[in-house]
Amino acid sequence: MIRIALAALAGVFLSLTAPLPTHAQQTDGPDLQSILQDNSELVANASRRTVQEVLDILVDSRLPEVPAFLTAWQARALYQRESDGLFVYVEDPDADALTLIDITSGEGLGTATSREVRQLRPNRGVQSVIGATLVGFQLASDDPAVRLGALDAIEDDPEERHLAALEDLVATETDPDVLERAELLLPALVIAFSDDDAPRVEAIRSLAGNISLTARRTLNPLLTTRTEFAETLPENANIARELSPGSDLLSVADAYDMLVADGLAPALIPRSDQVATLAANIVDGEVGGVPVATLNTESARDRAYAALVEAGIAPPAPTEADIAQSLGRFVFFEVYNERSAAVTSTARETLDGIETRVGFYRFLDLSLDGISLASIYFLAAIGLAITFGVMGVINMAHGEFIMIGAYTGYLVQTLVPNETASLAIAIPLAFIVTFMAGVAMERLVIRWLYHRPLETLLATFGISIALQQIVRLIFGALTQPLTPPDWMAGSVALNDVVSISSIRVAIFILAVLFFFALWLILNRTRLGLEVRAVTQNPAMAASMGINPDRINMLTFGLGSGIAGIAGVAIGLFAQVVPDMGSNYIVQSFMTVVVGGVGNIFGTLVGASIIGAFQKFVEWLNPTNTLAAQTYMIIFVILFIQFRPRGIIALRGRAAGD
C-alpha cells in the first residue's frame, strides 16, 4: 500500500510545487532539513494540539519543497533515520535494503534496514491539520484539477484560515469551473467565520436563486432552531416563533417534560406505576382507607393514591389540572441557533425564493419523467394501435413481440461485444424478426378469426403464454443483460434538481423518430394510402383493386416489427425476462383506448396522458407503486364512459363504422 501511495504522490508533488499566492519564493535562509531538525520533536511526535506550530514555521519559510514534504508527511511516507535524526523519504518501503532519499534535493542518501529508520505515522487529527495547511498550496497550483480538489477539501472541513485564500482565488481565478465552485463556496465561509453581520448578509444574498445543494446546505443551518421556555419572552433572543403546548408543533407531554427536566415540575407517574403502588400498599383489604373492592374506577384509584401521597408513602402524581397550571406559568418558543436576526431573516427570505425555484424545477423534473414514460408507452403501443385500428384484432401477444425484440438485442450483443455496434445491428434485426413472426401469426391464426373478437383474444392470449414458455426453455427464467453503450450511461443534468437518464433521452428521441417515420409512411406512401383506405372502408378499398388480405398481413407485421424495436429500447433499462411483455400490454391497451385506435396522433396523446397521470400518482404516493396502476385503470374506465372512441377518434372499422 505504501508503494502505491508513493507512486501516486509523485504526480501530486509536481502539481504542488507552487507556493501560497501571498508568499514570494525564498531561497535564502535555512533549508528544509535544518528547519525540521530545529523542530525535530514537534515533527517526530506531532499531535493535533502541537502540530500547528511547526506547520506555521514551514509555511513562513516559503520553501518550494514544503508542499511535497507536507504531502508525504500526511500520507505517512516520511521517515526519520535513527542514527542522526535525519528526515528522509524511502524509495521502496517493502525492499530489504531501503533506499533513502534527501527531502530537499531528492538525491540518494544510501541504504538502510527497516530497523535503522522509523516511519512517522501521524494520527487522523494531525493528518487533518496538515491537509488544511496543504489546501493553501493546492489553491495556488497550476492544475485546475488540483484546485478543485482543494475546494472539495475546504467544503468537507472548512476552517477560518481558508477564507483569505479563497478570497484571493476568486479574485485571480481564470478557469470557469474552478471559479464557479469557489464563488459558491466563498459565501459559506464568510457566513461561518465573519464577525460582522453586513458581509454575512451580503454573502447570503449572493446565493439568491441558486438551487444547488451547496447553497441550500449553506443556508439551512442558519435556520435551525431549538425549543426553549421562560416566564416571559426574552428580549435579546433571536426568536423564530412562539409555541402553544398541545399544538402540532409542541405536545403537552413534550412541554411538561421540559419543565420536569429543569426541576420546575414533578415528574409524571404512569398509571401502571400508580396501580403497582396501590397493590403494594394493601392493608386489611384497604388502600389509604379506600376498600379494595371499590377500586374499579379511575376516580376511586385517584382517591386511594392521593391518600398514600398525603401519608408520605407515594410520590405525588400531577393531575391534568396540575399540568395545565404548571404549563401556564411559562411561555414556550423556538429560538434560532444563529444569534443575528438580520442573518436569519435574510436567510429565510433567500431560502424561500430558492425553494420556490426548486419547486418549479421539481415540477419540470416530474414532467420530464412523465414525457420519458410516455415515450416508452408510445413505442410499446404504436404497433398495437395500428393493428387494432386497421384490423380490429385484440392482440394479447403484443407484449411478447416486445419480449422477442429484447431477446434479439441480447443475442446480438453476445455476438457483437461493442455495445454501440450491437445496438445498431439489433434495432433493424429486431424489426425483421418480429415482423416475420407477426406475419406468420397473422397467416396461421389471425386471418381465420377476423370479426370474432372473443376467439381472437383467447387465441392470442394462448400464443402469448406459449411464446413465454418457449423463451423460458431456451434462455431460462433468469434476467439476461442488455447493456447500453457508454454514451448512454449516466444522466443529462440541467441542475441539481432536474436530471434524466441518458437512456430515457435516447428512447424519447427514438419515439420522436418513429412518430415522424410512421406519419410519413401512412400519409406519404402508397402502402399508407392503402392502409387508410382499408381502415375506413375495406369493401370499397377492395373494389378499387386493393387487396385487404395483403394489407392486413403487412399491417400486422408492421405493428409487430415496431413492437420488436420497442423491446430493444425497453430492454436497455428494464429486465429482459420471458414475461417482460406482460408489464406493458395493459398500458399499451390503455394508451390505445385513451388516444383513439388506428391513429398515431391519438396514440401519442394517449401515451402522454397515461405517462403523466402515472407519474403524478407516483409523486403523490411514492411508497406504493401499485397505487399508480390501480388509479390509472380507474381513470381509463371513467374516461371511456365519456369518450368511448378515444380523444382522437378515427372513422373506420375499429371505430365501429
Q: What percent of the chain has pLDDT over 90?
A: 21
Q: Is 512 helix (H, G, I), strand (E, B) or coil?
A: helix
Q: Is the pLDDT of residue 657 over 50?
A: no
HSE-CB at 392 with a 13 A cutoff on CA atoms is 20
Helix (H, G, I), strand (E, B) or coil at 480: strand
The distance between the two most distant Cα atoms of the chain, rounded to a whole number of Å, is 112
Mean pLDDT calculated for residue range 16-35:
56
Q: Are strands 117-119 and 290-291 parallel, antiparallel or unpaired?
A: unpaired
Quickly tell me which residue has 500500500 as its cell.
Answer: 1
User: What is the CA angle 470-472-477, rounded to 5?
Assistant: 175
Report which of residues 19 and 530 the model is more confident about: 530
Res. 94 pLDDT band, cuts 50 70 90: confident
Name the nearest CA neighbour of 262 among 238, 227, 235. Answer: 227
CA distance 40 to 37: 5
Which residue is associated with the grid cell 407485421?
557
Tell me: the pLDDT tens digits for 269-299?
888 888 888 888 888 888 888 888 888 888 8
Query: pLDDT tier at 623 (50, 70, 90 boundaries)?
Result: low
Q: How does pLDDT run across 390-426, given as a tens digit for each residue?
A: 677 888 899 999 999 999 999 999 999 898 999 999 9
Beta strand spans in 342-400 (E): none
Q: What is the pLDDT of residues 304-337, one digit of tens each?
A: 888 888 888 888 888 788 888 999 999 999 999 9
649 has a pLDDT exceeding 50: yes
User: What residues does each domain of the chain span?
Assistant: 2-132, 143-223, 225-336, 375-583
Strands 79-81 and 225-230: unpaired
